[in-house]
Amino acid sequence: MRGAADERLGEARERAPRALVGEVDGDDDGHPQRDAEDRQTDLPRVRGEVSRALEAARKQGRIGKGVDAIVYVPTAPEEQWLPLFEAKGEALLTTLFNVSGVRLKQRAPEGVAVSYESQDIPGLAVEVVPARALGWNKCERCWTWSPRVGEDATHPTLCERCVPVVRAMRP
């Protein structure tokens, strides 16, 4: 999950214990994170557009941070962008965008989304939905939202990603 840690660095610095921040300073072979981003010019462009969509939702008071949101991408240009998104997958895009979920080729539920049409990437539509509006809950360990918080009776405040981690630490 090194990629996840890297992408969350911005937020991690604000909120995470020192140990986590130390861990993500530079990647395995000593290159700074910047190099990895320079090699992939497309994804930062998309991330910029998603950031603008999140900012629009924030200005409307619908979300606080990006992590409070689920990002729907109902349409994207088929030739260049959609194959890239599908190759990355929803889970990785969730990490890349620093949100709580990504849904490709799906429309957001009626009435809860803030819609954004990309100018930079014509044909790309982004819909931002507050996780709360979907009935998701916030995990108290990683601060992302999930529909599965509460499933585990022993750890009712944790998400499905954190439950096994906490279990492994305190068997």
Residue carrying structure tokens 């990647």: 27
- Contacts of 80 by beta carbon, 8 Å cutoff, 6+ apart: 42
* Distance separating alpha carbons of residues 10 and 93, to the nearest angstrom: 16
Question: Which is it for strands 145-146 and 137-138: parallel, antiparallel or unpaired?
Answer: antiparallel
Nearer to Zn ion, 118 or 144 (CB): 144
143, amino acid identity: W
Phi, psi at 4, each rounded to 5° = -60, -45
Nearer to Zn ion, 54 or 142 (CB): 142
Binding mask 115-154 for Zn ion (x = CB under 5 A): ------------------------x-xx------------
Stretch that binds Zn ion, among 4-12, 37-45, 92-100, 159-167 (CB under 5 A): 159-167
* Distance separating alpha carbons of residues 34 and 91, to the nearest angstrom: 22
Stretch that binds Zn ion, among 68-76, 95-103, 119-127, 160-168 (CB under 5 A): 160-168
Sign of dihedral through CA atoms 25, 29, 30, 33? negative
Nearer to Zn ion, 24 or 114 (CB): 24
Stretch that binds Zn ion, among 51-59, 65-73, 77-85, 156-164 (CB under 5 A): 156-164
Note whether 162 binds Zn ion by CB under 5 A. Answer: yes
Is 110 in a helix, a strand, or coil? Answer: coil
Size of the site for Zn ion (CB under 5 A): 5
Nearer to Zn ion, 17 or 61 (CB): 17
Give the footprint of Zn ion on this chain (CB under 5 A).
Answer: 139, 141-142, 159, 162
